[in-house]
Amino acid sequence: MQNHRFIFVCGLHRSGTSILFKSLRDHPEVSGFHNTNSPEDEGMHLQTVYKPSGAYGGAGKFGFNPESHLTEASPLVTEENRKKLFEEWTPYWDLSKQYLLEKSPPNLVRTRFLQAMFPDSYFIVTLRHPLAVSYATRAWYKKYRIYWRRLPRIFEHWLVCHEIFLQDQKYLKNALILNYEQFVADPSNYTNKIYDFLGLSPFPNNQKVLSSVNKKYFSMWEKDQKGFLSGFVARRMISRFETRLNRFGYSLVDVERADSIAE
């Protein structure tokens, strides 16, 4: 383990972490999970040390459970578990490479735990407008005929998880916060900022990145605001969440706003 640097991509389900993960994995000095038969090659499904997000309700819910938030104070932080986690992940990494990459949505609320397990860790935190994340998450659940997860609750989950991360950030040695909106606008520039942060050489982003996906969800929000019942829900969401959301550079009133909160 001491011969490697660990990169953890952090961001909720539907936040663009998969395409970011694939982009970083393409760098010749980075090894990331590939063809693992795990959903989206996520490391949380390839280990037995800690519980995956599904154990706490899955997308749009796991962050509400205090047990999903892990820090260096967790009893799971032991030398035995450190070796076990590394051994369970190593079959999916090329250990000839110094930088080892992993991404899973719960990483957002487990940064301090992962840093305790792997001290030489780097955290890439990507934020995406919670309207896009919430509508996409709700659509995913409707696909599987799960209708009881409502938009306001999924939206609040975004806020809760990111607020937990901001509280944890001051304990992290190496963390970089960037916006999904910045990434899709200029993928190569975005990934090269990350490589510079990691101490890696520049490398072009060869992944197919769609730049206008958010617009579909912003149109849904605009339509909802004009509806009778949905309009009431939208106004209530603005009243309840706008101030909290502004802290992250986003707005429910000015949906195109995507200010960076990177320090």
> How many CA within 13 A on the CB side of residue 78?
7
| Adjacency order of strands within the sheet including 121-127 | 30-32, 99-103, 5-10, 121-127, 175-179
As a whole number of angstroms, the distance between CA 221 and CA 129 comes to: 12
Could you report the per-residue pLDDT of 139-153, keeping only the tens digit for each? 987 765 665 579 999
| pTM of the complete model | 0.95
Confirm if 70 and 56 have CB atoms less than 8 A apart. no
Express each pLDDT in 221-253 by its tens digit: 999 999 999 999 999 999 999 999 999 999 999
For residue 11, which phi and psi values (nearest 5 degrees)?
170, 145
Q: Residue 125: helix, strand or coil by DSSP?
A: strand
And the tokens for 96?
Answer: 């000839």
CA distance 86 to 102: 12
